[in-house]
Amino acid sequence: MAKKKVVMEYDSEEWDIIPEHFLVGFKEYTNWAISMWNYDGEAPKHFSLEDAYIMDTGLAGETGEVLEILKKHVRANLKKNTPIDKVHLTEELGDVFYYLAMIAHRNGIPFRNVVEYNVAKIEQRKAEKLQKIYQSSRKRKNRR
């Protein structure tokens, strides 16, 4: 498995851990995540209720770790301006990403669909917000 040398710009730390095929797409990442679920190297054909519980609580736990990093960063910045630990944050966001991909797969949802749906939803919200701003602006101009 070929690995790509990745330089974390913010800390100029080199990470030699990202296989080339990760850079291909969501399907490949999800397939890799599934293959990593069992330590025996076999990708599971189905997931048990125990697997579901571990995935769901794993997501909650990793999200909590992300929030802990952010809380510590805010608290540290109340006294002095310190940079956030981007390497640690990157690690924990990766864990969140892993559990999200696994939960989507477990429920028969391609992770790419999750991302595409989210982009469409946020784009729609932005368009609606801009429309309201435009309409509000026109109302004010008409009152003058």
Task: Give the burial string for 95-118 (b: 16+ CB within 10 Å, else e).
Answer: bbebbbbbbbbbeeeebeeeeeee
Which helix (H) or strand (E) segment holds residue 18: the answer is strand 13-19
> Quick check: 12 pLDDT over 70?
no
- Report, as an integer, the average pLDDT of 85-100: 95
Of 15, 114, 117, nearest to 59 by C-alpha is 114
Contact 16, 23 (CB under 8 A): no
Which of these, 127, 106, 115, 9, lies nearest to 59 by C-alpha position? 106
The reported pLDDT for the residue numbered 24 is: 61
Q: What is the mean pLDDT of the chain?
A: 82
In the structure encoding, which two tokens stand for residue 144, read together?
A: 């003058």
pLDDT at res. 141: 75
Measured in whole angstroms, the distance separating CA 134 from the mean position of its chain's CA atoms is: 32
Please name every residue paired with 13 in a beta bridge, in sequence order, or none if there are none: 8
For residues 65-70, give the mean pLDDT.
97
Confidence of residue 66 (pLDDT cuts 50, 70, 90): very high
- Burial (CB count within 10 angstroms: exposed 0-12, middle 13-18, buried 19+), residue 92: buried
